[in-house]
Amino acid sequence: MRCPFCGCLESRVIDSRSADEGSSIRRRRECEDCERRFTTYEKMEETPLIVVKRDGSRQLFDRTKIINGLIYAGGKRKIPLGIFDRLVDELERELRSSSRHEVPSDEIGRRVLASLREIDEVAYVRFASVYHQFECIDDFRKALAKMPGGGEPG
């Protein structure tokens, strides 16, 4: 490992520990030339997960896009970011374990909606309005009618 301070290629590992819930290893190293310490992370190389968009275009899976959509949908709902992180972690874990390298964006949207429905109904409807491209108030009414309780006030 090249020292970030002097460029020397020789360093020794002082400490190793698991990081990111076991998905990587954090190593504390010391340069054998300048004796300065630095940290490196080892992570297993993953095959890329490709999202096939509705128009047929392809792009790399980007969890940040999903998190941003969830934050927008849950705006002012006081849903902790950790809940959205766990939702996307589980989604990504399921997608990667399916052994498929390409996943339709519609499938991702359906899975996010199914999970979000259990978390917060308002965030669910807001996310659904973008995902299903609602164009009028009747689209909202139809979505609410499909929910438990039929969208009627309690």
Read off the pLDDT of residues 111-120 as tens digits, 9 standing for 90 and up: 999 999 999 9
What are the structural domain ranges in the chain?
A: 11-43, 50-151
User: Dihedral (C-alpha) 18, 20, 22, 25: value to the nearest 10 degrees?
Assistant: -40
Q: 67, 70, 68: which is closest to 123 by C-alpha?
A: 70
Distance CA 17, CA 7 (A): 24
CA 44 to chain CA mean position, Å: 17
Q: 2, 56, 64, 54: which is closest to 31 by C-alpha?
A: 2
Q: What is the pLDDT of residue 154?
A: 42
The phi, psi pair for 5, rounded to 5°, reads -95, -45
Q: Say what the pTM is.
A: 0.67
Take residue 71 and report the two structure tokens written for it.
């934050």
Q: What is the pLDDT of residues 39-82, one digit of tens each?
A: 999 988 778 999 999 999 999 999 999 999 999 999 889 999 99
Question: CB–CB of 59/53 below 8 Å?
Answer: yes
